[in-house]
Chains A and B, each alone.
Chain A
Amino acid sequence: MRKYGIWAVALFLSAFVGFAAQEITWMSTQFVPIAEAQFVRNELLKPFAEETGIDVKFIGAEYAEFVSRVEAEYEAGKGEIAVLCGLHGDFVSVVDALADLSGVAVGGTISDTLMKLGRMGGKQAYIPLMQATYLMVVNKKALEYLPEGADIWALTYDDLLQWAKNIYEATGMQKLGIPAGPKSLLHRFIHGYLYPSFTGYQVLAFDSGAAVKMWEYMKELWQYVNPAAPTWDAMDTPLLSEEVWIAWDHTARVKQAIVERPDDFIAIPSPAGPAGRGFITVLAGLAIPTTSPDFDAAAKLIEYLTTPEAQVKILQGVGFFPVVAEAAGAVPTGALQILAKGVTAQAGSPDAIVSFIPGGISDEYKKIYKDTFFKFVIRGEPVDVRFLRSQATRLRELYLEADAPYPAPDGG
């Protein structure tokens, strides 16, 4: 009986050991692909647990699930989620449920511009964690066909057209690539890059005369785009197989190509149009819900993830770029430095027009931009202003239905 008694006591005591280590839950719409989630768990959270004794349970969630979970916990008044990670647009939908992070310490210097983006609903709703953008990656083989007088660090769309034309006339191949597959980020190119560069706005000038000129330009450019583009969801494979020499895509979707052959590629800013150099900044941040069961542990995690070391690790792990000033200098040479050069050049260009991804509205807007592209560019139909107008109406309706502001640069 005494033997069993000792086991019983040991078992009883071990239960308390379990409770002594802190555990918090982190829900995120970022790092969802399995490789990225594994990276977060092994490279970020394990060292964090060793340093602070706080175990972080990482849960990846799609936007719809994220929003419904946060809203449910907010309405219930209590919840399990301690800390959140999401894009700016994700937080716009749940701003009421987020706590004010004004006093939370960060691990490095985050610029005012970025911190200001995290202010919503009269409080510091989220602290920026990482940024991503879309840019162009060029195979060095294409450089010899660059048009006279074109500056690769400040291309215009006209330069791009001439460049692709030069390559076509010299080699007979269409070496320009823009991803146009069903799961590609084509819609980002249209609403965040083309529209602001040609019309100055994402939504407000959808059916303007400048927009018509833009679509005419794209029709012409498409002649020099590889015809397999509508099957591509990402550009790293076509870049590696040299189906394209000039590609546009998200940094994460071209990273693999540069990692495998860093000596063959350079990353440059996206081109500028008549209205400026429009590009998207994708900002992801960390927030703490008001119903968080452990505010302090969550704040510790935020501080840890914004240290320069963690920021460089994130860049190496998933290709999202640092927001912390000290981290920029700490990126080691290699593919990531090549990308970082392009990202910094794009963000620092004098004619920059920063666009934000529309938040809080139905994802149908992606279809509106994509359908217009499909009709005029891929199918090659003549640019029909009436169709543009009806699409513009539908787009504005989406914003009205959701009572959501137009995204930057439209001044929402």
Chain B
Amino acid sequence: MPSPSFSLNIGLMEARLRKFLGTDTLLSYWLLLPTLVFIGVFFLMPLFNAIMLAFRADNGAFTLDYFKKMVADVRFIETLKYTFLLAVTIVPLQLITALAMALLVNTGFRGSRFFLYLFALPLGISDLAAGLIWLSIFTQHGFLNSILYSLGIIERPIYFISYQNIGLTFLAVVVAEHWRATAIVLVILVAGLQMISKDYLEAAEVLGARGWRKVWYVVLPMLKPSLQSALIIRTIFALQTFAVVLALAGDIIPVLSGEAYFWHFLYRNSHIASAYAVFLMVISIGMTWFYLRFLRSRMEVIRG
């Protein structure tokens, strides 16, 4: 005859099973199933196949040849350099600008809403269109040269976009990207600012911290989660900058996503294109991990 504790265990298991099969939990899984299948078939499977493209040759054999070829490319070092240089230059610049804009808009002065929409306007156009707009400004017969010439400042047009003036070309790309994408960071920061409880700000004022000190000691620490999200999002997109660089600088400034594009569409080797894409993905994941690790909010640390 089974021991009493044994039958008690069976009873507990039965009760747990019955609870699990109870309508709510199982129904939730059933409702999720169509979405999961859709994501699996149209997103995860193609993603997996695309990643495997970089590792699998046409005959199905596993190989690292494509990565080796990618690294051995004549312009690989240059590509890496510019991809990182672009991200490292743009992200802090945009962060500071967006923060200033967000703080300004958050004061709620008359017309602040209008300025918020104005700042966010470039978000509505595609990045290729943004690149072309700035191309028409920086090109030899573009707006900038025409204005400078008519003001008598220059005698001959300046070749802003050329290999000889690669510094200027890079600057042009930075300006265009800055104009186009600061709003992404701005919108996140504005949302974050509005979530800060007024109590903290009033307490700070009462205790004598106002203006810049209030911002530095109260607002910014509370803004850390938003800053973290904005940084992660903006850095990943900055590493993937593609259309703006292509439109403005063409072949002069190579970047990883551009090389992936050319390898697939121009040189017709999808394997190497996929290698570039996988490499970019790994870098993005790495940066995200880095941010999440080192930008933990101090509040969590205090609590923990």
Residues of A within 8 A of B (CB): 63-64, 172-173, 180-183, 226-228, 230-233, 241, 243, 362-364, 366-367, 371, 374-375, 378-379
Contact, CB under 8 Å: B74 / A227 = no
- Are A227 and B162 in contact, with the CB atoms below 8 A? yes
Determine whether B205 belongs to the interface, using a CB cutoff of 8 Å to chain A.
Answer: no
Q: Is B249 an interface residue (CB 8 A)?
A: yes
Question: Per a CB cutoff under 8 Å, which of A228, A362, A371 touches B268?
Answer: A362
Residue ID in chain B nearest A242 by CB atoms: B141
Which A residues lie within 8 Å of B164 (CB)? 227
Selected contact of B162 from candidates A230, A233, A241, CB within 8 Å: A230
CB–CB A241/B141 < 8 A: yes
Q: Which 3 A-B pairs have the closest CB atoms?
A: A227-B162, A363-B268, A231-B250
Are the C-beta atoms of B250 and A230 separated by less than 8 Å?
A: yes
Does B74 contact A374, Cβ atoms closer than 8 Å?
yes
| B contact residues around A243 at 8 Å (CB) | 140-141
Query: B268-282 vs A: 1/0 string, CB under 8 Å?
Result: 110000000000000
* 27 A-B residue pairs with CB within 8 Å: A172-B156, A181-B250, A182-B250, A182-B251, A182-B266, A183-B266, A228-B161, A228-B162, A230-B162, A231-B162, A231-B250, A231-B251, A231-B252, A233-B250, A363-B266, A363-B268, A364-B268, A366-B266, A366-B267, A367-B262, A367-B267, A371-B73, A371-B74, A371-B75, A374-B75, A378-B163, A379-B163
User: How far apart are A172's CB and chain B's nearest CB, in angstroms?
Assistant: 7
Most buried by B among A182, A243, A363, A371: A182
B246 at interface by CB-CB < 8 Å: yes
Known: A231-B161, A367-B267. 9 other contacts (CB 8 A): A228-B140, A231-B248, A231-B250, A231-B252, A241-B141, A243-B140, A366-B267, A371-B73, A371-B74
Which chain B residue lies CB-closest to A173? B156
**Residues of B that sit less than 8 Å from A by CB:** 73-75, 135, 139-141, 156, 159, 161-165, 246, 248-252, 258, 262, 266-269
Query: Are B249 and A231 within 8 A (Cβ)?
Result: yes
* CB-nearest residue of chain B to A62: B265
State in angstroms the CA–CA spacing of A23 and B139 once bound together.
48
A325 to chain B, nearest CB (A): 36
State the Cβ distance, A290 to closest chain B Cβ, in Å. 26
Q: Which residues of A contact B141 (CB under 8 A)?
A: 241, 243
Instruction: Give the secondary structure class of B's interface.
Output: loop
Establish whether residues B251 and A181, one from each chain, have CB atoms under 8 Å apart when the complex forms: yes
Q: Are B267 and A362 closer than 8 Å at their CB atoms?
A: yes
B268 to chain A: which residues have CB within 8 Å? Answer: 63-64, 362-364
Specify which chain B residues have a CB less than 8 angstroms from the CB of A363 in the assembled complex: 266-269
Tell me, in angstroms, the Cα distance from A243 to B248 when the chains sit together.
Answer: 17
Is the beta-carbon distance between A228 and B139 smaller than 8 angstroms?
yes
Neighbour of B251 across the interface among A227, A241, A374, CB < 8 A: A374
Chain B residues whose CB sits within 8 angstroms of the CB of A241 once the complex forms: 140-141
Give chain A residues whose Cβ lies under 8 Å from the Cβ of B163: 227, 230, 378-379
How close is A403's CB to chain B, nearest CB, in angstroms?
14
Of chain A, the residue at the smallest CB distance from B162 is A227
- Closest Cβ of chain A to B132, distance in Å, is 12
Bound: A378/B262 CA distance, A: 19
Q: Which residues from B are CB-within-8-Å of A378?
A: 163
Of the candidates A182, A230, A231, A371, the one having the most CB atoms from chain B within 10 angstroms of its own CB is A231
B181 CB to nearest A CB, Å: 22
Query: How many Å lie between the Cα of A273 and that of B163 in the bound state?
Result: 27
Q: Select which of A180, A181, A228, A366 is within 8 A of B159 by beta carbon.
A: A228
In whole Å, how far is A374's beta carbon from the nearest beta carbon of chain B? Answer: 7
Residues of A within 8 A of B262 (CB): 182, 367
Residues of chain B within 8 A (CB-CB) of A379 are: 163
**Which of B140, B252, B267 meets A230, CB within 8 Å?**
B252
How far, in whole Å, are A182 and B250 apart by their CA atoms in the complex?
Answer: 6
Contacts of B267 in A (CB 8 A): 362-364, 366-367
Q: Please give the distance in Å from B227's CB to the nearest CB on chain A.
A: 36
